[in-house]
Amino acid sequence: MPSKTLGSSKICASDIAILYRAHYVSRTIEEVFQREKIPYTLNSGVPFFDRAEIKDALSYLRMIAYKDDLSFLRVVNTPKRNIGERRIKALKEYVAEHGGSLYEALKISLGDELFANTKAQAFIDLIEGFSSSYSGMQISELFSHVMNQSGYELALRTEGSQERLDNLAELKQSIYEYETSCGEECTLENYLAHAALYTNADISTSKNAVRLMTIHTAKGLEFPVVFIAGMNENMFPSKKVDSLKAMEEERRLAFVAVTRAQKLLFLTEAEGFSQHAGGRYPSRFIFDIDRPLLNYEVELPPALLAKTRIYIEENNSTLQKKDALADLAEGDTVEHGILGRGQILKIDQTAGTYTVKFEKVATPRKMSFKAPLKKNQS
């Protein structure tokens, strides 16, 4: 990457840091940098297409298209199907003697006692079912069905692996972008070839390379030029924010990001729609900066600004209600504007309801968490 001149100073690639709230944001940046041959290095995390969940998901798609041994070994027991090393060894021995693929060996061996207490049949049914039908499906649709029916996404949810789920959602976004850009050549095979270009891509070892990292990693560091990527609602601030206190933590993190820049600071946001985060609105943290201090490359459309303000106001209102409700517990006395005084008998977090016995009502009433209940302090 050639040096750029800023006044009397030269800006080199190593002077530039690109910061983001969450690891999944790096996907788009990495793809563009690799395509444009811009040297970069990751100061935190693993390259997007080298992350375990991304390799797993793509291996499922390759199994459907090719049934190759490498993909088979990666996903046949992911999630667990009781097909461990002993059974894999038996399949390899069968292939060494008779030829063919490991997948074919498993199909032939389904009736063997060795595979009696496994989920081998379910795995075969999954692959066979999609192999015979994927040509008529959109790749993003196929991806969603496979992640669901294989149990892979459920396994991540059970583990509580939100970061890995975010990465899967970002992979689906990349598939969606591929679908909308490639026209008639949009086949599963072509997409897999496209994704392979980014898998195991060389990360620059040069000292003159742009640095990519999360904002948390950047704490305590400073750079001449900083880009903060993904300055959108539900990205930064994170969609996981569930209280006003958590929002203030996000705001402090935004301050950390902004103050990493020594000379130049670029805030970037993207309009439109994301499979991962839904409708995109500029981050509220952009508007926390005094307008005279901002130099917009492109002025935000008035309609977008109006929708963004409405979204932020509604979100703040929701967080305020959540904070108010967080103080309520079973046994508390509450007040309702119409029903009057009552006592909370039960809280159902799954259904999002309170069961309240009001003094003026004969039977207990179920009330939504959104109901205007106030804790009685007397």
Please report, rounded to a whole number, the percentage of residues in the chain having pLDDT higher than 70. 92
pLDDT recorded at residue 131: 96
Rounded mean pLDDT of 290-311? 92
Query: In three state form, how does the secondary structure of the chain look?
Result: CCCEEECCEEECHHHEEEEECCHHHHHHHHHHHHHHCCCEEECCCCCHHHCHHHHHHHHHHHHHHCCCHHHHHHHCCCCCCCCCHHHHHHHHHHHHHHCCCHHHHHHHHCCCHHHCCCCHHHHHHHHHHHHCCHHHCCHHHHHHHHHHHCCHHHHHHHHCCHHHHHHHHHHHHHHHHHHHHHHHHCCHHHHHHHHHCCCCCCCCCCCCCEEEEEHHHHCCCCEEEEEEECCECECCCECCCCCHHHHHHHHHHHHHHHCCEEEEEEECCCCCEECCCEECCECHHHHCCCHHHCCCCCCCCHHHHHHHHHHHHHHHHHHHHHHHHCCCCCCCEEEECCCEEEEEEEEECCCCEEEEEECCCCCCEEEECCCCEEECCC
Whole-prediction pTM value?
Answer: 0.78
Mean predicted confidence (pLDDT) in 328-347? 88
Share of the chain above pLDDT 90, in %: 71
More confident residue, 79 or 273: 79
pLDDT at residue 83 in the model: 97
**What was the pLDDT predicted at 375?**
81
Residue 1's pLDDT band (cuts 50, 70, 90): very low
Q: In this predicted structure, what is the pLDDT of residue 2?
A: 46
Q: Average pLDDT of 334-347? A: 89
Query: Which pLDDT tens digit goes with each residue over 36-61?
Result: 999 999 998 899 999 999 999 999 99
Instruction: Tell me the average pLDDT of the chain.
Output: 90
Which residue did the predictor score with more confidence, 371 or 128?
128
pLDDT band at 5 (very low <50, low <70, confident <90, very high): low
Per-residue pLDDT of 275-288, as tens digits, reads: 555 678 999 999 99
pLDDT (0 to 100) of residue 185: 75
pLDDT at 276: 55
Confidence of residue 325 (pLDDT cuts 50, 70, 90): low
Residue 201: its pLDDT value, please?
67
Question: pLDDT (tens digit, 9 = 90+) per residue, 212-262?
Answer: 999 999 999 999 999 999 999 999 999 889 888 899 999 999 999 999 999
Q: Is the pLDDT of residue 306 over 80?
A: yes
Q: Which of 197-206, 219-228, 350-359 has the highest mean pLDDT?
A: 219-228
